[in-house]
Amino acid sequence: MSEEKKKGIGRRDFLKAAATTPVVGAFAYSVHKKGQHDEVAREEIFSLGKETSGTNPNILKRNYQRKASANDRIKIGFIGIGGRGNNHMYNCGFWPEDEETPRGLEETEDLNLECTAVCDLYEPNLERAVKNSRGTAKIYRTYQELLAEADVDAVLIATSDNAHAPIAIAAAEAGKHVYVEKCMTRTIEEAFALRDAIKKAGVIFQLGHQNRNSNRYDSAMEVVDKGYLGHINLIQCYTNRNSPSGAWCYNVPKEHGTLDAASGARNLDWKQYQAMTPNPDRPYDPNRFFRWRCYWDYGTGLSGDLLTHELDVINMVMNLGIPATCTASGGIYYFKEFQTWMTAEGEPISSNTYPLPAGAQLRPDVPVCRREVPDLFQVTYEWPDKDLTVVYNATLANEFGRGQIYFGDEGTMDVTHGVDVYADSESKLYRDLIKSGKVRLDEPMVSYRNVAGKGIEAITSATARWTVAKGLLYTYRGGRMVSTTYLHLKNWVDHIRDNNHDTMCDIDGGFQEAITAHMSTMSLLKGCRTRWDPVNQKVTSDLEDQYEEVMYGSTAKV
C-alpha cells in the first residue's frame, strides 16, 4: 500500500488522463479532409467562369482608398433637411449631443467635417438641424444666400426633386462640391443643364444612391463579369410597398403655416417653394409640401423615387448606360384619396395608424390628399445593342418582397436577399456538374451571404444561414455593420480630398439615372414609347406635347 501511495503521476493515470487527446487529433484530421473536399467542389464550379473581362469600370470604384490625409476640415452646408437630410447630418457625424451613436456608425472613421450652414424652408427643420450641428451651423433661409455668403466647401442637397437641379447648378457655379439626392432632377431638360454645369465647374459630384455600397454587389458584379450566367437577356426588378407612408403620405406636423398666414404658425416658406415649380401661384396646400412626392410639380412618383434605386444598381452591375427605348404604363388604383386624422384632443395621428382611435376626427387644416402620380406602374426598357430587356413593376398596395433577378441562358442570379446563383436546367456550361449531382437545381449553386467572412463569403454547400436584409440601410465591412449612407458620403468626401472626380455615382451615372427615369415618365404621360438618341443626345417619342405640358406647363394629367 505504501508503495502505491507514491506521489506523482503513474503511467496508468497518465493514460487515463490523456485518453481523449486522440479525439482532438481525429478532429483536426476530419476538418482537414472536409476542407479539401469543399475546396475541390468549389473550384470545379468557379473554374467554369471566364477570366475577368475588366470592362466594368464600376468594379474599380468600389472600396475606394483615399490617398490624401484627412487632416483638413471640410466645411459642409446642408440644403433641405427633412427626413433624408436629417439622416445625412447623422451620417456626417452631426447628431444631438444627448443621443447615442446611431446604428451603423459605431466604429466608422471620422469624416472630419464641419457643419457651417443649414438651409430649409420649414422652420422646425432648421431648428433640428442647428441642434444636430451642436451649434456651429448658421441658418440661411434661401439657398442663394447660403451659396453667396456661407463659409462652405461643399453642399448636400436633400430638398424635394424640383429644387435639386436649380440648387445644384447654382452650387456648382459657386464652386461648391455637390452631393444631391436621387432622383437627380425632376425633368429631362434639368438633367442636361446639371450635367453641363457640373462638368464646366469641375466640382466633385455624388448622386445619393447609397445602395451601391452594399457589398452584395461586389459578388453580383463578379458573377456577371465572369460569365456564370451566360448571356443575360432579361432583368426583372420590383418595388412592393403597402402603407400610407410607403405611398408618400407622410405625417403633417401639428404646427404649419405659410409666412404670410393670417393666423397660426408661420413657419413654412411656401412662396419660395412653389416658385421653383411650373405653377408658382398655387395656393398653400400642406399636402403639397409634406407629401410632395405625390405631385408632378415637385417629383416624379415611382419612377424618380423607387425605379431609380433598381435601375441604378442594374446600371452599375451591368454597365448599361441609357436604354434605347422605354414603354411605361400605370395608374392610380389604390391611394385615390387620403384623409388626415387627429385625436379628439386635436393631436395629429400618424398616417400609418390603424385602426384609428375612438373619437378620431378629420383635421381641418389638411385637405384630402389626391395624388397625381400613379401608385401602380410598370416600365419596359430595351437595350437592343446588348440584347437585353429590363422590366420594372411597382405596386404601392402589396408588401410581398420580389427583389431583383438576372436571367441568363446558363444561369439565374437573384440579388434579393444576398446573391444566389442558380444553374439553369438547360444549361450547357453546368451540364456535367448537374448530371453528376455536384450542382443541384432546386437550390443555389453558389450563394453569397453576409453571415461570415470579411463581408462576403461564397458558400457552395448548404449550411444554416441567417440573413439581414437591410441593403438600403446597412452593409458589412470587415464583419461590422456599417451604414451605406455613411459609406456613400465618405466616398464623396474622400474624392473631394483627393480631387478625384470618379465618385461611386458620378455625374455621368447621375445623368444616365435621370434620363432613364424620365423616359418612363414621358412614356407614361404621353402613352407611347420613348427613345434615347445617343448620337444627338436627345430623348424623343412617337407623340408630341403632353410631357411638356405637364412637366413644364399647367395642370397635371395622368
Partner 1 sequence: MVNESVINQKIGKYTGFQRFFLLLMRVTIGWHFLYEGYVKMVSTGWSAAGYLDAVPGPFAGVFEYMINHAWMVKFADAMMLYGLTAIGLCLILGFFTRIAAVCAAALLLLFYISNPPFIGVPFMPGEGNYLFVNKNLVELTAAMVLLVFPSGLVWGLDRLFVKE
Binding region for partner 1 (CB under 8 A): 4-6, 8-10, 12-13, 16-21, 23-24, 27, 31, 100-101, 103, 106-107, 450-455, 457, 464, 466-468, 476, 478-481
Q: Are 208 and 183 in contact (CB under 8 A)?
A: no
CB 243, min distance to partner 1, A? 20
Start-to-end C-alpha separation, the chain? 104
Alpha-carbon distance of 419 to 397, in angstroms, equals 27
The dihedral built from the CA positions of residue 425, 427, 433 and 439, taken in this order, carries a sign that is negative
Minimum CB distance to partner 1, residue 215 (Å): 12
Nearer to partner 1 among residue 10 and residue 280 (C-beta): 10
CB 34, min distance to partner 1, A: 10
In the complex, minimum distance from the CB of residue 501 to partner 1, in angstroms, rounded to a whole number:
32
Q: Which is nearer to partner 1, 304 or 455 (CB)?
A: 455
CA atoms within 13 A on the CB side of 219: 25
Shortest Å, Cβ 111 to partner 1: 18
Whole-number minimum distance, CB 463 to partner 1, in Å? Answer: 9
- Residue 146 contacts residue 80 (beta carbons within 8 Å): no
Between strands 205-207 and 177-180, the pairing is parallel
**DSSP per residue, 491-524:** HHHHHHHHT----TT-HHHHHHHHHHHHHHHHHH
Q: At its nearest, how many Å lie between partner 1 and the CB of residue 62?
A: 17
- Minimum Å distance from CB 125 to partner 1? 26
Nearer to partner 1 (CB atom), residue 245 or residue 463: 463
At 293 the three-state DSSP class reads helix
Give whole-number Cα distances, 441 to 92, 405, 433, 434, in Å. Answer: 45, 16, 10, 8
Residue 44's Cβ-count burial label (10 Å; 0-12, 13-18, 19+) is middle
Select 228 or 474, whichever has its Cβ closest to partner 1: 474
CA 13 to chain centroid, in Å, comes to: 65
Helix, strand, coil % over all residues of the chain, rounded to 5:
35, 20, 50
- At 207 the three-state DSSP class reads strand
Question: Toward partner 1, which CB reaches closer, 166 or 444?
Answer: 444
Give the CA diameter of the chain.
Answer: 113
